[in-house]
């Protein structure tokens, strides 16, 4: 690793624990130092952290800092958007191509807010998206597309892919080694996407995201433009909002009352999958691909959550996120997520059945 690469590495590592101003001053100072003094400065930075600090401890500390700052004015504002090398991007696309979306979820602004509220209302200060569903093994829709009407004439389109072997990968992670278990494809235009990798770490309660972005259909000049005009914090904010919706959808599918909204999808042609030109023998058309479309109605969602009441009250059942618990003996155990409240006993009997129905490809 040469000096430039090492400075980039330090910049990313410090971005999560320093404010934007602190990060900028620190990197300007390190950049101005001769090699010998830079090495001394690095040692000084290292002394601030325990020698035996694990990746989990580092991520926990970073999450605590980001939560206090409400994920604003951080060093990530100084990190320009940077993309994976062609080789690493090709590997990511190959992993994504191993599955295809069987479901399309369509929401307007009100239904999107209601889906997110299923978990956000009890976790207002969460700096990220919980990783509990991966450790509990409950991902009802491991590959789905989502379209959200933001109320301003824009349709936000994204796809979340959880790799088919994610449970095996989760078993391999420990407190020093995160594993990539999926990705978010955030559509920019006509199928061109920025791709954010998703990772989990044993003992850490939140999904980890990589600073380097993957890409699909974005040419070199466009990636150069994004590098010049966008920073990591901006991209994470936009894609983080998508992940909040995706997580809310997964929670909704595990809710004893809300899940029934998803029982009657309409099978339609997957327009985006059929835009690609046909490959193969001349004159032979590509087979049409279909997808199950769910249009989520905000009023119906509200009635399910509040039991059809005309007034706002505490929901009849609420979600408790899974988490890691350390016992006095030092043993760490994952506590599975669960629904709590008057209707909690309805939850367990149908979760697996619902997963089978919704994962079925058309």
Q: What is the DSSP string of 184-204?
A: EEEEEETTEEEEEEEEE-TT-
Domain co-membership, 52 together with 97:
no
Work out the percent of the chain whose per-residue pLDDT is above 90: 49
Does the residue 123 lie in any domain? Answer: yes
Distance, in Å, from the CA atom of 361 to the CA atom of 144, rounded to the nearest integer, reads 11
Residues 3 and 100 in one domain: no
Do 96 and 54 reside in the same domain of the chain? no
Residue 330 lies in a domain: no
Mean pLDDT across 47-57 = 74
16 occurs within a structural domain: yes
53's CB contacts (< 8 A; 6+ apart) are none
Residue 304 has pLDDT above 90, yes or no: no
Q: How confident is the model at residue 320 (pLDDT cuts 50, 70, 90)?
A: confident
In this prediction, residue 319 has a pLDDT band, given cuts at 50, 70 and 90, of confident
Pick the last residue of a domain from 25, 46, 78: 78
**Do 26 and 154 sit in the same domain of this protein?**
no
Q: Judge residue 262's burial from the number of C-beta atoms within 10 Å of its C-beta, 0-12 exposed, 13-18 middle, 19 or more buried.
A: buried
Domain count, the chain: 2
- What are all long-range contacts of 151-158, with beta carbons under 8 Å and residues at least 24 apart? 151/108, 151/109, 156/242, 157/187, 158/184, 158/185, 158/186, 158/187, 158/239, 158/242, 158/246
For residues 29 and 97, membership in a common domain is answered with no
Res. 360: pLDDT tops 80: no
**Residue carrying the six token digits 């009407």:** 149
Q: Are residues 31 and 44 in the same domain?
A: yes
> Which one of 78, 102, 132 terminates a domain?
78
Last residue of a domain, one of 46, 78, 110: 78
Q: 191 Cβ partners below 8 Å, 6+ apart?
A: 216, 217, 272, 275
Q: Give the pLDDT score at 355.
A: 38
What is the radius of gyration, based on Cα positions, of the chain? Answer: 22
Say whether both 109 and 26 belong to one domain: no
Of 121-125, 159-163, 317-321, least confident by mean pLDDT is 121-125
Report yes or no on 336 lying in a domain. Answer: no
Whether 16 and 106 share a structural domain: no
Burial per residue of 78-103, b for 16 or more beta-carbon CB atoms within 10 angstroms, e otherwise: bbebebbeeeebeebbebbeebbbbb
Looking at the structure, tell me whether residues 183 and 112 fall in a common domain. Answer: yes
Does residue 318 lie within any of the structural domains? no
CB atoms within 10 A of CB 276: 10
Same domain, 99 and 69: no
The 10s digit of each residue's pLDDT in 63-98 is 888 888 877 889 999 999 999 999 999 999 999 999
What pLDDT does 122 receive? Answer: 77
Same domain, 86 and 64: no
130: three-class secondary structure by DSSP: strand
Same domain membership, residue 49 and residue 88? no
Residues of the domain holding 197? 80-275+286-312+347-359
The reply to whether 8 falls in a domain is yes
Q: Is the pLDDT of residue 362 over 50?
A: no
Residue 104 lies in a domain: yes
- pTM as predicted: 0.86
Smallest CA-to-CA distance from 242 within 203, 194, 300 is with: 194
Q: For residue 171, what are the CA distances in angstroms to 140, 162, 166, 200, 206?
A: 19, 15, 9, 11, 16
Residue 247, pLDDT > 80, answer yes
Domain presence at residue 242? yes
């Amino acid at each position: 690793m040469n000096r430039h690469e090492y400075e980039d590495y330090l910049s990313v590592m410090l971005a999560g624990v320093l404010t934007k101003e602190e990060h900028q001053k620190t990197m300007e100072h390190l950049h101005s130092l001769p090699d010998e003094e830079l090495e001394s400065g690095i040692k000084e930075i290292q002394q601030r952290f325990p020698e035996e600090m694990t990746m989990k401890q580092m991520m926990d500390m970073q999450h605590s800092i980001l939560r206090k700052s409400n994920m604003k004015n951080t060093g990530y504002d100084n990190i320009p958007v940077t993309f994976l090398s062609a080789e690493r991007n090709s590997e990511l696309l190959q992993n994504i191509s191993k599955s295809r979306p069987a479901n399309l979820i369509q929401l307007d602004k009100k239904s999107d807010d209601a889906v997110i509220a299923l978990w956000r209302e009890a976790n207002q200060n969460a700096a990220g998206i919980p990783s509990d569903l991966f450790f509990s093994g409950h991902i009802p829709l491991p590959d789905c597309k989502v379209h959200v009407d933001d109320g301003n004439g824009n349709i936000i389109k994204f796809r979340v892919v959880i790799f088919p072997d994610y449970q095996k990968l989760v078993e391999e992670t420990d407190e020093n080694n995160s594993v990539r278990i999926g990705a978010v494809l955030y559509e920019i235009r006509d199928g061109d996407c920025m791709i954010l990798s998703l990772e989990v770490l044993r003992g850490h309660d939140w999904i980890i995201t990589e600073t380097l972005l993957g890409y699909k259909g974005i040419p070199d000049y466009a990636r150069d433009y994004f590098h010049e005009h966008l920073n990591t914090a901006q991209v994470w904010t936009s894609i983080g909002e998508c992940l909040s919706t995706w997580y809310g959808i997964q929670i909704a599918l595990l809710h004893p009352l809300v899940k029934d909204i998803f029982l009657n999808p309409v099978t339609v042609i997957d327009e985006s999958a059929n835009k690609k030109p046909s490959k193969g023998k001349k004159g032979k058309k590509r087979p049409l691909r279909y997808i199950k479309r769910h249009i989520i109605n905000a009023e119906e969602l509200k009635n399910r959550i509040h039991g059809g009441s005309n007034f706002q009250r505490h929901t009849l059942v609420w979600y408790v996120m899974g988490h890691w618990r350390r016992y006095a003996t030092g043993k760490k155990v994952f506590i599975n997520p669960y629904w709590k409240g008057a209707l909690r006993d309805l939850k367990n009997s149908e979760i697996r059945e619902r997963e089978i129905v919704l994962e079925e490809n058309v």
